Chain A
Amino acid sequence: MARRKPSERSHGAHGDEEPLDLDVTPFLNILFMLILSILAMTSWTQLAMLNVAAPQIGGAGDGTGGATPPEATSTLNLTVFILKDGFNVGASGATLDGNSDGRSGEPLIPLIMKNGKPEYDYRRLQEKLIEIKKSFIDEESMIVSADGAVPYDVVIKVMDAARRSPDGRLLFPAVAFAAGVVG
C-alpha cells in the first residue's frame, strides 16, 4: 500500500493509518456534572460564632435552667447601654451619659450622621472602651443592655467594637446580656 500524502492521512477513513480519536464527550459530561454539583454544594457565606454569656434573670423558671452559670468575677461591671439615640457607658453603679459632658438629656455617645443617615458611633465607643481598658487591664467582661427596638445588627457591631482595639489587643471580649431592656 502506497503511503498517502500527509494532507490525506488525517482524513483516512480506512486502513491501519486511521488516527486514534479518543471520544472525550462522556468524560466531558461527567466533568460538567461534577462542576455543577460542586457549585451547588459549596457554601458561599462563611459563618462564625460569637460566644456570649447568659442573661441573668431571677425568679421565674422551673430550676432546670442555667447549665453553666456565668462567673461573677467582674468587679467593674462595665455596661454598655444601647439606646435609640446613642450609647451610654456605665460601671459599678455609676453611669456615664451626656450629663458628664455637660450635655443634659443626651447619651454619652450620640448618633452621628453618616451618608445622610443617623448611625451609631462605634469608633467613639471603642475609643471610650480603650480608655477604660487602660485603667482596668485585667478586666475582660462587659454587659450589654439595649432598648427593646434596637436591631440585632447594632448589638453585634457593639460586640465587634468591644472585642479588640485597632492594634489587635483584647478589650472586653466576654460579653454578657443584662436581663430586660432599657428605655
Chain B
Amino acid sequence: MSDATESIGDGTKPYGGWGPEASAPGRRRKSKRGRRPADHVATISITSLTDMVTVLLVYLLKTFATSPIEIKDPSLELPRSVCTPAPGSGAREREGGPPPRDGCGEIQETTLVMVTAPKKGRTPRIAVNSDAILEMDPATFRVPDQYKDPNSGGWVISPLREALKKAREIKEIAALRDGKAFDGKVVILADKDTPYRVLSEVLVTCGESGFADFRFAVIKPE
C-alpha cells in the first residue's frame, strides 16, 4: 500500500500528467495503423459562419442611417415628440422651398446651440457648435446673472451672443460664396429638463444675434 499516502481517500490519485499509457508502445503501434496524430489537422467549417456574417452585414447596411447631428454628450437628453417629418421635406427646404406646413421638418446641418443638464454630476453648459460657451449653476439650472447683459433686462446672455455673432460671420461668408442670403437658421438642442426661463433666454439671445429661424431638435417616434 505504498500508494495509500498519495491517495486523497476516494481511491483517486493526484494528477500526474498523461501517464505512461499515452505514450505506451501498444498505443503508438495502434496509431501507426491508422494515420499518425501529427497528420490530422482539425478544420472547422466556417462557411456557415461566413453566411451568417454576410446576412448580418446586409441587414445592417439596410438599416444603416446617419444623422447630420450626432449627440454624444450623456448629459443631453432630447425630448421625444410625435413629430414625423414628411419624407423629402428636408431636401425641398434646402433647395429653397417653403418650410413644412405642420412645422415638423427633417434635421439639417446648421448652427447648433446646445443646452446640457446637470445630470451625472456634470455642470450644465451652453455650447455653440459643440464649443462650450458658459457654465450654468448646477443647483438651480439657471444662467448666472454675471453672464447677462444688464441692458436687455436680463434676457440676453452676453457670451452666447458673442459666440453666435462669430458663427454668423462664418455662415454669412459661406452663404456669400454659395450665392445665397444668410438664412438665420439655428437648431436648439436642449435637454428635456431645461427650464423655460433658460430656453427663453437662449431664444432671445439667438434672435438678438440674427438667428431668428429657430428649430428645436427632438427625437422622432420609432
Residues of chain A touching chain B, judged by Cβ–Cβ distance below 8 Å, are 11, 13, 21, 24-25, 27-28, 31-32, 34-35, 38-39, 41-43, 45-55, 57, 59-62, 64-69, 82, 146-153, 155-157, 159-160, 163-164, 170, 173-175, 177, 179-181
B192 to A152, Cβ gap below 8 A? yes
B residues near A39, Cβ cutoff 8 Å: 60
- Known A-B contacts A47-B219, A170-B101; A153 and B200 likewise in contact (beta carbons under 8 Å): no
B153 to A60, Cβ gap below 8 A? yes
Q: Which listed residue (B83, B211, B213) contacts A163, Cβ 8 A?
A: B83
B residues near A164, Cβ cutoff 8 Å: 102
Q: Which listed residue (A42, A60, A160) contacts B83, Cβ 8 A?
A: A160
B57 to A49, Cβ gap below 8 A? no
Q: Does B190 belong to the interface (CB within 8 Å)?
A: yes
- Known A-B contacts A49-B108, A174-B103; A148 and B217 likewise in contact (beta carbons under 8 Å): no
Q: Does B65 belong to the interface (CB within 8 Å)?
A: yes
Q: Does B208 belong to the interface (CB within 8 Å)?
A: yes
**Chain A residue, CB-CB nearest to B152:** A60
Which residues 143-192 of B have a CB within 8 angstroms of A?
149, 151-153, 155-156, 182-184, 187, 190-192
| 15 cross-chain CB contacts under 8 A | A27-B50, A28-B53, A38-B57, A38-B64, A41-B64, A42-B64, A45-B71, A48-B105, A54-B203, A59-B152, A64-B209, A66-B207, A66-B210, A173-B104, A180-B200
B39 to A13, Cβ gap below 8 A? yes
- A64 to B210, alpha carbons, bound, how many Å? 6
B residues near A68, Cβ cutoff 8 Å: 184, 212-213
B155 to A60, Cβ gap below 8 A? yes
* Nearest CB on B from A109, distance (A): 18
A65 to B212, Cβ gap below 8 A? yes
Q: Does B85 belong to the interface (CB within 8 Å)?
A: yes
Binds A, one of B10-18, B23-31, B74-82, B126-134: B74-82
- A174 to B168, alpha carbons, bound, how many Å? 25
- A163 to B214, alpha carbons, bound, how many Å? 17
A residues near B220, Cβ cutoff 8 Å: 46-48
A residues near B153, Cβ cutoff 8 Å: 59-60
* Nearest CB on A from B61, distance (A): 7
B107 to A181, Cβ gap below 8 A? no
Interface size classification for chain B? 35 or more
B78 to A47, Cβ gap below 8 A? yes
Q: Which listed residue (A11, A45, A52, A179) contacts B103, Cβ 8 A?
A: A52
Residue from B81, B152, B194 whose CB has the most chain A CB atoms within 10 Å: B81
Residue from B47, B80, B196, B207 whose CB has the most chain A CB atoms within 10 Å: B196
A49 to B215, Cβ gap below 8 A? yes
* Nearest CB on B from A3, distance (A): 19
**Chain B residue, CB-CB nearest to A144:** B196
A residues near B3, Cβ cutoff 8 Å: none
B69 to A55, Cβ gap below 8 A? no
B100 to A47, Cβ gap below 8 A? no
* Nearest CB on B from A59, distance (A): 7
* Nearest CB on A from B204, distance (A): 5
A residues near B102, Cβ cutoff 8 Å: 163-164, 170, 173
Q: Does B5 belong to the interface (CB within 8 Å)?
A: no
B residues near A35, Cβ cutoff 8 Å: 53, 56-57, 60
Q: Does B135 belong to the interface (CB within 8 Å)?
A: no
A24 to B57, Cβ gap below 8 A? no
* Nearest CB on B from A150, distance (A): 4
- Known A-B contacts A47-B67, A54-B203, A67-B213; A175 and B151 likewise in contact (beta carbons under 8 Å): no
Q: Which listed residue (A24, A67, A153) contacts B79, Cβ 8 A?
A: A153
* Nearest CB on B from A85, distance (A): 15
B residues near A157, Cβ cutoff 8 Å: 79, 81
